[in-house]
Structure 1
């Protein structure tokens, strides 16, 4: 038993060391938030979400791990006060967030061909959006993870564009663009229950996939690079134009 405990301790320390080295190499101006803004264009029926950073938004993408388990994910994230039902989930506790992510080891947008090569399973590295429900999770150093559920849970409702994972996650296919210091995504208002009176914040983060350890979340936040408000208080309101 002592040997097993020792081996587990060594594996845990190695995992922590690897995760720490991964997240540190991505830190820098490309994930240092200067400004966050959400603008409702009423004449077009769309909302434009944007995060401006000190460096070049979207230029840094994760290095490939070569497998799903332990795969790194980088994200520009908008936590909001929207309700899960506004974006197609059943009502559940947690924070609804729009996450713009990049991850070269897997593709979780089976309906969308972001690099336009007629293949739908090879473009996870291209920045793309997800609706997610985040919740507090002390098992990971970033303190948050995407909320999971049991596959047999019949009360769970997901949008039809979800990627088929047992998490509150959707792959809505909204267009994401990166130009110089800013990353933007356009959301049709009807895809979020025509809501425009919500609060939001901006976050950049390093996340990681887990498929081997039942004591860890499937997708956890391991390091937060920057928070627009400084304290994740969601102080910002949608600008109406």
Structure 2
């Protein structure tokens, strides 16, 4: 299997420390590390994750047991119920740091692929001249995570926006009823 590292870089100051549990260790460079697990799909078997800052640029790193970003979900032809695959880096920043309502959950950087919709209308990720068909291309988002019982105990999911509510959202919110930013 091919070991690979996926990185996402953006200009934002970030602070905080890595968290670990009994199944993960913190490497001296601050990365959370984990042993390979043959029962997992290799490109989603995360071996290490960390972020580092150089001035006002933060680079998020994730090392996988296979080629990160190789797999993408199959298209269903529908937005509702379609698959979204992600690599996610939770941060210690308050969601207000990127324009969400403050105190609403855990701000995370996510690299995602989803072939049934395009939620990054400002960019043409695949370079074909159509900025509305790029969802399958791996791209980044800010999301706000909250505990979600529907996903199982101790699971996190992107925070829903209840119908009729009007929380503060970033200017590049794509209009989906979740705390998602498409900068």
Structure 2 gaps, min length 5 = 1-39
Partner of residue 171, structure 1: 182
Equivalent residues, number: 144
- Whether 1:29 and 2:42 are equivalent positions in the alignment is yes
Q: Distance in 2 between matches of 1:94 and 1:55?
A: 31
User: Which residue is 1:148 aligned to?
Assistant: 160
The higher radius of gyration belongs to 1
TM-score of the superposed pair, with normalisation by structure 1: 0.56
How many Å apart are 1:151 and its aligned residue? 5.1
User: Does the alignment pair 1:50 with 2:50?
Assistant: no
Q: Which runs of 4+ in 1 moved over 4 A?
A: none
- Give the whole-Å Cα distance in 1 for the aligned partners of 2:82 and 2:74: 9
Structure 1 counterpart of 2:21: none
CA distance in 1, matches of 2:151, 2:51: 29
Root-mean-square deviation (CA), in Å? 1.8
TM alignment of 1:1-241, pairs within 5 A:
27-42=40-55, 45-141=56-152, 143-150=155-162, 152-154=164-166, 156-172=167-183
Q: Secondary structure at the match of 2:151?
A: coil
Unaligned runs of 5+ in 1: 1-26, 173-241
- Greater fraction of residues in helix: 1
Name which structure has the greater RCO, CA cutoff 8 Å, separation 6+: 1
